A = this chain, B = another copy of it.
Amino acid sequence: VQSELEFISWLQEHVPPHPRCELPLGDDCAIVHVENSAVVTTDMLVEGVHFLSNEVSPRRIGRKLLAVNLSDLAAMAARPTAAVISLALPRKGGYSLAVELYEGLLPLAERYHVAIAGGDTNVWDGPLVVSLTLLGDPHPRGSLRRHGAVEGDSILVTGTLCGSLRGRHLDFEPRVDEAQRLRDQYNLHAGIDITDGLAIDLSRVLAASGRGAIVDVDLVPISEAALELAHRANDRKSPLQHALGDGEDFELLLTAPQDEARRMLADTPLEVPLTIIGEITPDDGLRQRDRQGRITPLAADGYLHRTNK
Contacts and interface: CB of A to CB of B under 8 A. Distances in A.
Interface of A: 4, 7-8, 22-23, 25-44, 46-50, 72-73, 75-76, 78, 82, 84-88, 117-127, 129, 131, 133, 135-136, 138, 143, 145-147, 192-193, 208, 304-309
B309 A49 contact: no
A42 B146 contact: no
Contact of A309 (B37, B43, B118, B133): B118
Protomer copies? 2
A31 B38 contact: yes
Given A124-B49, A307-B4, A30 B41 contact: yes
Contacts of A120: 42-44, 131, 306-309
Contacts of A7: 307
Contacts of A75: 28-29
8 contacts: A4-B307, A27-B147, A27-B208, A29-B39, A29-B73, A40-B118, A49-B123, A86-B86
A76 B40 contact: no
A192 to B, nearest CB: 6
Contacts of A307: 4, 7-8, 120-121
Contacts of A133: 40, 42, 84, 86, 133
A55 to B, nearest CB: 16
A95 to B, nearest CB: 10
Contacts of A22: 37, 143
A129 B21 CA distance: 28
Contact of A29 (B26, B47, B72, B118): B72
A210 B212 CA distance: 63
A86 B43 contact: yes
